[in-house]
Amino acid sequence: MVNQILKENFKQALKSIRSHLLRAILTMFIVSLGIVALIGTLTAIESLKGSLSGKFMSMGSNTFSIKNKGGVRVSNHNKRSRYRAPIGYKEALEFKRRFELPGITSINTFSRSLTVLKYKNHKTNPNINIVGIDENYLETSGNDIQLGRNFSEREIQSASHSIILGSEISKKLFPSTHPIDKIISVGAAKYKVIGVLKEKGASMGFGGDRNCYISLSQLRQKYYTPNMSFTVNFMAPNPQVLDLAVDEATGVFRIIRKLKTSDENNFYISRSDNLVQQLEENLSTLNFGAYIIAFITLLGASVGLMNIMLVSVSERTREIGLRMAVGATPAMIRNQFLIEAVVITEMGCLLGIVMGIGLGNFVSSFVDGVFIMPWFWIFISLIVSTTVGLISGLYPAIKASKTDPIESLRFE
C-alpha cells in the first residue's frame, strides 16, 4: 500500500514537472551550475594534483636532497654579512663516506653554462643543461633508461667521454637513427652516446628531457668553476626510515661543515614528500574557493526552487482541492510536492556532475593531468542536492498540505 501511494505521488510529480517544463529546466540549470562549480573545480584540482604528485614522487617518497642555501645573509645581531659557501665536491664525498645508514647516496651538479648539442646536420637549441652525475644518480632521481645503459663505476672514475641524453634531445638529434654508440658534439667536445632516458614530460617545469648527463669527473674537468655547488641525493630503503635518515644526515653534514651548536644550518634538506605536502597546501586554497562558489550557487538555486514551488502551489490550488476531495490526505499532498522538488534538484545534479567531470578533465588535460572520476564528490553532490530539494520544497509542501479543500474547489 505504501509503495503504491509513493508510486502514485512520484507519477503525479513527474506529470507536474512536464506540465511546467520550462520552469523546471531553468531550475535544473541553476542547480547544475552549483554542482559544475564544485565537481568541475575539484576534478581539475585532483587531476592536476595527481599529475604533479606523480612527477614529484617519481623521485620516490623515500628520498631527500642536500643542497646549498646560497647567497649572503646579514646577521640580525652584529650586522655582518655571512657568506653561505657552496657545497664543495670534497664535502659531498665526505658525506657519502661518513653516512652509514642503509640506502643509496649519489652526487650531482649542473654546469653553469648552457650548450648546443650537434650530430651531423641536426642540432639542439642553445639551452641544454649539462649535468654531472655518478653511477647512482639515475636511481635516486627516479630516472629510467629507455635505450642503452647507465654509467659504469669505471667510466665515472676515468672521466670517460660518454653521455646520456634526455628524450627530447635524442628525438631532436636522431629523428630517424638509433642514437646508441653515436658520437655527438657538446660544445667543442666529442662524446659517445651510451643511453637515452625515458620521457618524463616537462609540464610545470618538471622532468629532465632537455638535460644531457656526463660523468661527474668529466664535468669537473671541463666545466668546473670555483663556486660550483654539488647536490647530494639519498634514497632510504623505505619511507618509514626517512625521518631518521634526515635527522642523521643533518647531524653528519653539520659536522662536515664544522658548524657550532649555536650556528644555523648553511644548507637545506629537501624531502620528496615535503614537495607533495606543499603542493597540496597550495591547492587547498582553490578547493576552498570551489566550496564557496558552489555554496553561493546552490543557495541561489534553493531560493529559486522554493519560489517556483510556492508559485506552483498557488497555480495548482484547484488541483490540490480536487485531489483532497477524492481522498488524498495532507501527507500525500505534502509528499507529492517534496518529490517534485527533489526530482528537479536531482536531475539538475546529474546534469551538473556530467558537465563538471567533463569540464574538469578537459581543463586538466592542458597540463598533462590524469583522468579523474571523483566518486566521493559525486556522492556528496547527490546528498547536497537532495538536501537542497527537501529544504526548498518543505515549506511549499506544508503550505499545500494545509490547503482547505472547499476553498480550493471554489478557487479560479
Per-residue pLDDT at 79 exceeds 60: no
121/233 same-domain check: yes
48/82 same-domain check: no
213/243 same-domain check: yes
Numbers of helices and strands, H then E, in the chain: 13, 14
233/342 same-domain check: no
Instruction: Give the model confidence (pLDDT) of 127-179 as tens digits.
Output: 899 999 999 999 888 888 999 999 999 999 999 999 999 999 999 999 989 99
The predicted model gives 25-45 an average pLDDT of: 80
Beta strands 81-83; 189-197: pairing state: unpaired
Give residue 283's pLDDT.
67
Give residue 26's pLDDT.
79
How far is the C-alpha of 312 from the C-alpha of 395, rounded, in Å?
12
Of 129 and 205, the one with more pLDDT? 129
20/40 same-domain check: yes
Instruction: Give the model confidence (pLDDT) of 348-372 as tens digits.
Output: 888 888 888 888 888 777 766 667 7
Q: What is the pTM of this model?
A: 0.58
Per-residue pLDDT at 269 exceeds 50: yes
121/262 same-domain check: yes
Instruction: Give the model confidence (pLDDT) of 108-124 as tens digits.
Output: 999 988 899 999 899 99
155/199 same-domain check: yes
Last residue of a domain, one of 221, 246, 271: 271
Give residue 230's pLDDT.
94
Mean of all residue pLDDT scores within the chain: 80
Alpha-helical (H) ranges within 224-271 are 242-256
Last residue of a domain, one of 271, 286, 302: 271
82/199 same-domain check: yes
Kindly state the helix (H) or strand (E) to which residue 94 belongs, with its residue range.
helix 89-98
How far is the C-alpha of 275 from the C-alpha of 58, rounded, in Å?
12
Last residue of a domain, one of 271, 293, 310: 271
Enter the C-alpha cell of residue 376: 566521493
215/257 same-domain check: yes
Three-state secondary structure of 15-40: HHHHHCHHHHHHHHHHHHHHHHHHHH
First to last CA, the chain: 34
95/232 same-domain check: yes
Instruction: Give the model confidence (pLDDT) of 283-314 as tens digits.
Output: 677 777 777 877 777 777 777 777 777 777 77
pLDDT winner (highest mean) among 55-59, 214-218, 289-293: 214-218
Give residue 118's pLDDT.
94
Residue 301 is part of which domain span?
Answer: 2-56+277-409
107/141 same-domain check: yes
Per-residue pLDDT at 5 exceeds 50: yes
290/364 same-domain check: yes
pLDDT confidence band for 410 (50 / 70 / 90) = low
Which of these, 357, 371, 321, lies nearest to 38 by C-alpha position?
357
Greatest Cα pair distance in the chain: 105
Which of these, 233, 218, 244, lies nearest to 95 by C-alpha position?
233
Which of these, 136, 143, 57, 139, lies nearest to 96 by C-alpha position?
136
- Count of domains forming the chain: 2
